[in-house]
Structure 1
Amino acid sequence: MKNEFALITGASKGIGKSMAITLAKAGYHLLLVARSEAELQQLAIQIQNDYNNQVFYLPTDLSADTGPLQVAEWAQQHTDKLSILINNAGYGLWGDFEKLELSAQMNMLALNINAVLSLTHHLLPLLKQQKQSYILNLSSTAAYQAVPTLALYAASKSFILSYSRALRYELKNTTVSVSCLCPGPTDTGFAHRAGLDAMADLAEKFNMSPESVASAGIKGMFNKKAEIIPGFLNKLSAFGAQHLNKALIERITAGLYKR
């Protein structure tokens, strides 16, 4: 058993839950954050029973202004051996920008961007004290192109990708390695929360499992990769988005996500 802790946001389900289990198997103690107390408690009990790790959990809303500082202070109360920070919490909203409620879109940006920046800034001093530590930020293949009707979601993930690469460079002479995981369609309930139920059948054809995405992300993080794109089709999609005509890519994505 390692005497090290990993903090995972959005840990109650999907990729975050799979990452928690993967790291528990590797011997890490866990600090789990999500909105649902019941789901966090169930996961903590499961991990403690299966692997005998220490697991602490905090139900909170990271999109709230005080959320990231609350999480950072809570984490530091439990350990001074934090060696992994996984910024996984996030969601999307589907629809035309002008038709979606502005407050809902701003809340999404607060979670997808502001919480990542704030929590990382608060915890970097602790991460830098470790012999080796890692930050893994969750982006998306949507980061590689503009996506009409998912405009702010794609833009937020593009921000996270760019920020992760810049922070990685800034920290290259420290003990902190920064990686960015960019999965494509994953069976996590994202489409339902985004309002994309009409695309459920299409998504099922291309979805990766949360377990496979989590495994690729953790492996890439420990190998200190800058960008991690799980799955051949997702790699191909990201390559095409970077090298094909942008207007063409926007027409294609608009057609995929139209009502």
Structure 2
Amino acid sequence: MYALVTGASRGIGRAIALQLAQRGYDLLLVARSEDQLTTLAQEIGTKYQHQAKVLATDLAAPDAAATVAAWATQQTNQLTMLVNNAGYGLWGRFEQLSLPEQQNMLQLNMHLPVALTHALLPALRKVSKAYILNVASTAAYQAVPSLTLYAASKAFLLSFSRGLRYELKGTGISVSCLSPGATTTSFADRAGMGAELQATANKVSMTAEAVAETAVAGLLAGEAEIIPGVLNKVSAGLTSVVPKGIVEKIAAGIYEKYL
């Protein structure tokens, strides 16, 4: 059994890869950093005695999905899991952030998982039971001023997961969407968040390992939507009953005051 994990070099992606290796999966690891992927592959081989093959490539490139899909199908005919984890955020007001940089984020957060899923569905259909995990965020459940396009891209991924899950009923392919809240990864640094905002997030952050453990357990159990942590579950649930204007005002109060 092989699982393909994008954005596997660090953070939640790395932790998910280790969880899957512990559960008996061989891994196809994809990210930009070859050194980090190689180190992870060696750890998987040493600790869990499973194969881990690596592909270092820029996943934001327009042809990345085709490159990854072709490589994956060359490596195995037993692909049983696709984890669309690659992605990042940008913090700041929409009009003040660089448009090319925001478009690059959308390419990675939205277009890559759609294209890669489409390309690999034929391979996943060849096995009796297969899984797709799309990694979104609790930001998918509401608009987040100053993380506007990031939240919108994760809302897209959540909606895509819901629709695809329904379409694939009865095929043996289970689709799940993971929506973690604040996690102790490099997300805040990559998003350009200030130290004060990072410190606020750290107060409620979960570890990547805890998120990954919940994610893999939920995925293999066939859960549609996986939200690690009680606080995150409650906050996501409240967005469906609290008026949108109030939810957005609260989110803006958390993120915009530090701009």
- Aligned partners of 1:205, 1:242: CA distance in 2, in Å? 25
Q: Match for residue 205 of structure 2?
A: 207
Q: Match for residue 186 of structure 1?
A: 183
- Within 5 A, what are the aligned runs for 1:5-20? 5-20=2-17
1:6 counterpart letter in structure 2: A
User: Runs of 5+ in structure 1 lacking a partner?
Assistant: none
Asked if residue 173 in structure 1 is aligned to residue 174 in structure 2, the reply is no
Q: Match for residue 249 of structure 1?
A: 247
1:178-204 CA distances to partner (integer Å, 9 max, x unpaired)? 000000000011111101133121111
User: Scaled by the length of structure 2, what TM-score is found?
Assistant: 0.98
Asked if residue 101 in structure 1 is aligned to residue 101 in structure 2, the reply is no
- Aligned partners of 1:243, 1:141: CA distance in 2, in Å? 15
User: How far does residue 138 in structure 1 lie from its aligned partner after superposition?
Assistant: 0.2
Match of 1:62 among 44, 59, 63: 59
User: How far does residue 84 in structure 1 lie from its aligned partner after superposition?
Assistant: 0.5
Q: Match for residue 83 of structure 1?
A: 80
Match of 1:72 among 69, 73, 81: 69
1:16-60 CA distances to partner (integer Å, 9 max, x unpaired)? 111111111111110000110110011111111111111100011
- Secondary structure of 1:98's partner? helix
- Secondary structure of 1:206's partner? coil
- Aligned partners of 1:248, 1:50: CA distance in 2, in Å? 48
Q: Match for residue 155 of structure 1?
A: 152
- Aligned partners of 1:158, 1:189: CA distance in 2, in Å? 21
Match of 1:27 among 24, 27, 47: 24
Q: Match for residue 217 of structure 2?
A: 219
Q: Match for residue 127 of structure 2?
A: 130
- Aligned partners of 2:247, 2:20: CA distance in 1, in Å? 37
Indicate the larger mover: 120-129 or 189-198.
189-198
1:48-100 CA distances to partner (integer Å, 9 max, x unpaired)? 11111111000111111111100000000000000010000000000110000
- Aligned partners of 1:129, 1:191: CA distance in 2, in Å? 39
1:217 counterpart letter in structure 2: A
Q: Match for residue 38 of structure 1?
A: 35
Q: Match for residue 115 of structure 2?
A: 118
2:232 counterpart letter in structure 1: N
Match of 1:145 among 123, 142, 145: 142
User: How far does residue 146 in structure 1 lie from its aligned partner after superposition?
Assistant: 0.4
CA RMSD of aligned residues (A): 0.7
- Secondary structure of 2:185's partner? coil
The number of residues matched between the two structures is 256
- Aligned partners of 1:209, 1:14: CA distance in 2, in Å? 9
1:178 counterpart letter in structure 2: V
User: Scaled by the length of structure 1, what TM-score is found?
Assistant: 0.98
User: How far does residue 229 in structure 1 lie from its aligned partner after superposition?
Assistant: 0.5
User: Runs of 5+ in structure 2 lacking a partner?
Assistant: none
